[in-house]
A = this chain, B = another copy of it.
Amino acid sequence: MADNNKFDEQTVTELVDNIVKSYRECEYISKIDSARQPDKDVIEGIINSVKKLLFPGYFETKRLKSEFIRYYVGELIEEIKYNLERQMIYAYSFTNGEDMKKAEKLAKEKTECFLVKIPGIREYLNTDVYATYEGDPAAYSYDEIIYSYPGIYAIMIYRVAHELYNLSVPLIPRIMTEYAHSRTGIDIHPGATIGKYFCIDHGTGIVIGETTIIGEHVKIYQGVTLGGLSTSGGQKLKGVRRHPTIEDNVTIYAGASILGGNTVIGANSVVGGNAFITKSVDRDTRITVEAQKLKIRSKGNK
């Protein structure tokens, strides 16, 4: 490079060459001349449309009137169908490498299967909102929960993504739950199974692994991990049950970790804050960490 005008046409050419070369060499992170890829922004748009369908009247800029409600619903269905089908086509062809015809057929089928699940998802969410309100003295109304609670937002997206996961749709369910994760700090894998009346308080730092099973009336707090014991097995563990089972009416306080595919927390149990559990616990049990030994000194001796 010349001194004075360092970044001349020659330099630009070399830089472009080097980057294009890197596109050939670093194989895991380049997609040139591949099929069209899914679009995260559109998938986030789908989440927003589904949210409007699931919580009618909360996320509009005008009030919903009953005489127009059917058209409102029909249009949202059409929009979700159009976008979801299209993103699935890209997911099937881009990631799974299906040929276009197959991808289109699959996308159509799966989208239609998903759409008919919407009333069912609403039934679950209705219980989740109820449980969240009943369990939180800081909640002033159902509205406050629907508008502002990250727990409900993350559960809503999880319940949507879970239906797509059950339909074996690639890529999209995870993009959805990671979007929730990004917005709430709550990381629920779409593969987890979660019963009605599920309640998350505060939520930041919660991790719920792919093969977790959670019953009804379960409440968990921020920083709770329902995870695997060790993932050093990596890809070899795919499909193996790695995460715990939480039975009905269990409460898990902040920072507790419950790990392992054979670990079951029995119904009606309470797990105290910061507990670290890798073995099963009987039903109707209260588990707390024995009081920490705290060292208490006057502040002279920092």
Contacts and interface: CB of A to CB of B under 8 A. Distances in A.
B175 A16 contact: no
A103 to B, nearest CB: 14
A258 B18 CA distance: 39
Nearest to A8: B67
Contacts of A147: 38, 40, 171, 174-175, 178
Interface band, chain A: 35 or more
A70 B74 contact: yes
A64 B123 contact: no
Nearest to A12: B67
A27 to B, nearest CB: 7
Number of identical protomers:
6
Contacts of A171: 140-141, 143-144, 147-148
Given A18-B119, A29-B126, A296-B285, A237 B137 contact: yes
A162 to B, nearest CB: 14
Contacts of A56: 23, 30-32
A244 interface: no
Contacts of A237: 137
A57 B234 CA distance: 27
A2 interface: no
Interface in A128-177: 129-130, 133-144, 146-150, 170-171, 174-175
Interface string A11-36: 11001101111110011111111111
Nearest to A27: B126
B274 A296 contact: no
8 contacts: A15-B116, A19-B118, A31-B58, A71-B78, A72-B78, A95-B141, A286-B295, A287-B296
